[in-house]
Amino acid sequence: MASTIVWLRDDLRLDDNPALAVAASSPEKMTVVYVLDEASPGIRPLGGAARWWLHHSLSALSAELESKGSRLLLRRGAAAPAIRELANETAAGTILWNRRYGLPERTLDAGLKEWATGEGIEATSFQANLLFEPWTVRTGSGGPYKVFTPFWRSCLAGAEPRLPVDAPQRLPEPAAGPSGAPPAGDSLDSWGLLPHRPDWSGGLADTWAPGEQGASQRLEDFLDGPVEEYGTGRDVPGVEGTSRLSPHLRFGEISPFRIWHALRERFPRNAPADVGIFRSELGWREFCWQLLYENPGLATENYRREFDRFPWQTPSDAELEAWQQGRTGYPLVDAGMRQLWQTGWMHNRVRMAAASFLVKNLLADWRLGEAWFWDTLVDADAASNPANWQWVAGSGADASPYFRIFNPVTQSKKFDAGGRYLRGYIPELSGLDDKRIHEPWKDPEAASGYPEPLVGLQESRERALDTYQRLKAL
Ligand code: FAD
């Protein structure tokens, strides 16, 4: 009998995994494979923090699959030849996968589908990782939306996202290769995804539980409390007021359909406004993916082409390092950059302030910041990262206007009034009271060991506004 291949990519879960569910309901033997593809044209290699996450996520997935009678096959290399080879080895009659939306990935998948069809192999893809696929959300004139609010309104006006599919109880046994045994794969350790010398991942391991179980626990914890105060809690970096689901969503360890319907079940009627606000954040994720789908160069090209003439200043190595290492002299920016380094994640409000500082106060090209976040975020996402960087820079869709320059002192006084977040990441400031902690240069003795401000806020703000005015005049 022919066998089935389930090719997992950004969907490292058993729950609500349509490709896996279809294979599980078939009498055919099954090969579940993950291909570490750093070789196909245009595929963006993962950054360091995401590689750490991937290692642990695959390890958790492998254990889940084994507990249900299956196993995870690991292969490395360009994905298309790897899958073709595997199909030959296992005499596959069917290949199933869940869809991806970046151009290099779509091109690869389309090529493979064409090959499979020519070989008489059925290749079917499913919607699993976005609630609303980009080509289904269109303006009245048939184009893509460029502004979030009407985009999201249009999504909500359509059919409710489908119900999630439960994880299969049992999985088909692994298909055999030509020798009669299941095909051989790589060992996860041989991929070298974890950092060595130095191993900087201790803070990540203390903070996160990669894998499907970790993801559903995060969702439960969020629904049990923070969601009901999300509207205000989400802006306070010193409390856990947000879901922290982003890395789990990034690797597909939890389905957005599962999250959507968990909210429905928890709040069957009269949901607080906070639930709608949280849903609209999921909407921003969808919007970012629609932007990448329409603009495949989102991580390298200005969405608004007039920014091609923007005279970004190349920061000195010392300036860039001060930003990366959390030593700018502005506590909110520094706490955020240290949180990022230690845990692989940064609170959204602080991401905005830290990014604004780089592109406006230092006038550095947003691509420098995007690349650093790509390397250090556990949730580094091919759509959300560039879309948000461009939003902050003013070069993006529905972007924050260029003249909106986050003031890190005002922001920290407003959203971290008691200094809880700042103290958590900047021990040098522990001797300062709640008022002084936001402006440590006013009390240099108590803030010893903490750097002086890298640039003056007022002058650098004026320089940014002048530069922008000149761009407009060109
Ligand atoms: P919650 O507030 O609980 O939101 C729930 C989910 O909604 C998130 O997990 C995420 O999937 C989605 N979401 C929330 N805000 C946004 C947003 N602004 N854009 C897109 N999706 C959103 N998010 C990433 O997932 N990956 C990135 O690489 C990324 N890079 C960013 C870079 C910058 C400069 C900025 C300003 C924001 C970036 N974000 C990114 C968006 C946002 O900061 C994170 O999604 C959020 O902080 C994740 O925390 P959470 O899961 O607790 O979010």
Band (219; pLDDT cuts 50, 70, 90): very high
pTM: 0.98
The residue annotated as part of the active site, out of 52, 284, 289, 372, is: 284
**Number of domains within the chain:** 3
pLDDT of amino acid 398:
81
Q: Which residues, listed in sequence order, are joined to residue 97 by a DSSP beta bridge?
A: 7, 125
Domain assignment present for 191: no
Range of the domain at 377: 305-473
* Burial environment of residue 426 by CB neighbours within 10 A (0 to 12, 13 to 18, 19 or more): buried
Residues in contact with 20: Cβ distance below 8 Å, sequence separation at least 6, in sequence order:
6, 8, 14, 32, 96, 168, 171
Residue 3: helix, strand or coil by DSSP?
A: strand
348 is catalytic: yes
278 and 327 belong to one structural domain: no
pLDDT at 348 over 90: yes
* 7 tagged catalytic: no
Instruction: Assess whether 331 and 261 both reside in one domain.
Output: no
340 in the same domain as 444:
yes
157 and 118 part of one domain: no
Residue 458 lies in a domain: yes
- Say yes or no: 65 and 155 in one domain: no
Q: What share of the chain in percent tops pLDDT 70?
A: 100
181 falls within a domain: no
pLDDT tens digit string along 52-97?
A: 999 999 999 999 999 999 999 999 999 999 999 999 999 999 999 9
Active site residue 441: no
Q: Whose CA is nearest to atom 33 of ligand 1?
A: 388
Residue 261, judged by CB atoms within 10 A of its CB (0-12, 13-18, 19+), counts as: middle
CATH of the domain at 265: 1.25.40.80
In this structure, the residue with its CA closest to atom 17 of ligand 1 is 284
Average pLDDT estimate for 347-372: 98
User: What mean pLDDT is predicted for residues 395-421?
Assistant: 92
Burial class (CB in 10 A: 0-12, 13-18, 19+), 160: exposed
Q: Please check whether residue 183 lies inside any domain of the structure.
A: no
| Catalytic annotation, pick one of 28, 228, 240, 281 | 281
Verify that 366 and 443 share a domain, yes or no: yes
Same domain assignment for residues 31 and 151: no
Domain membership flag for residue 10: yes
- The C-alpha atoms of residue 370 and residue 300 are separated, in whole angstroms, by 9
Structure tokens at 320: 């860039």
17 and 135, same domain (yes or no): no
Residue 247 shares a structural domain with residue 363: no
Rounded CA-CA distance 393/356 in Å is: 7
What are 105-139's pLDDT values in tens digits?
999 999 999 999 999 999 999 999 999 999 999 99
Protein residues whose CB sits closer than 6 Å to any atom of ligand 1: 234, 242-246, 249-250, 281-282, 284-285, 288, 348, 351-352, 355, 373, 377, 379-381, 384-385, 388-389, 392
Q: Can 312 be counted among the known catalytic residues? A: yes
Pocket test for ligand 1, best of 246, 280, 290, 395 (most atoms within 8 A of CB): 246
At 318-337, the pLDDT tens digits run 999 999 999 999 999 999 99
- Identify the residue whose C-alpha is closest to ligand 1 atom 34: 389
Residue 338 lies in a domain: yes
Render pLDDT for 250-292 as a digit per residue (tens, 0 to 9).
999 999 999 999 999 999 998 999 999 999 999 999 999 999 9
- Residue 258 lies inside a defined structural domain of this protein: yes
Looking at 78, 106, 128, the residue that finishes a domain is 128
Share of the chain above pLDDT 90, in %: 96
Last residue of a domain, one of 236, 265, 294: 294
Nearest residue CA, atom 30 of ligand 1? Answer: 385
Q: Whose CA is nearest to atom 13 of ligand 1?
A: 281
Assess if residue 74 is contained within a domain. yes
91 lies in the same domain as 221 = no
Closest-CA residue to 293 (of 110, 100, 466, 436): 100
Q: Do 374 and 287 belong together in one domain?
A: no
pLDDT reported for residue 474: 64
The dihedral over CA atoms of 109, 110, 115, 119, expressed in degrees to the nearest 10, equals 90
Question: Are 122 and 235 in a shared domain?
Answer: no
CATH number for the domain that contains residue 71: 3.40.50.620
Residue 334: which CATH number?
Answer: 1.10.579.10
Q: What is the three-class DSSP state of 59?
A: helix
CA of 346 to the centre of ligand 1 (A): 9
Annotated catalytic residue 389:
yes
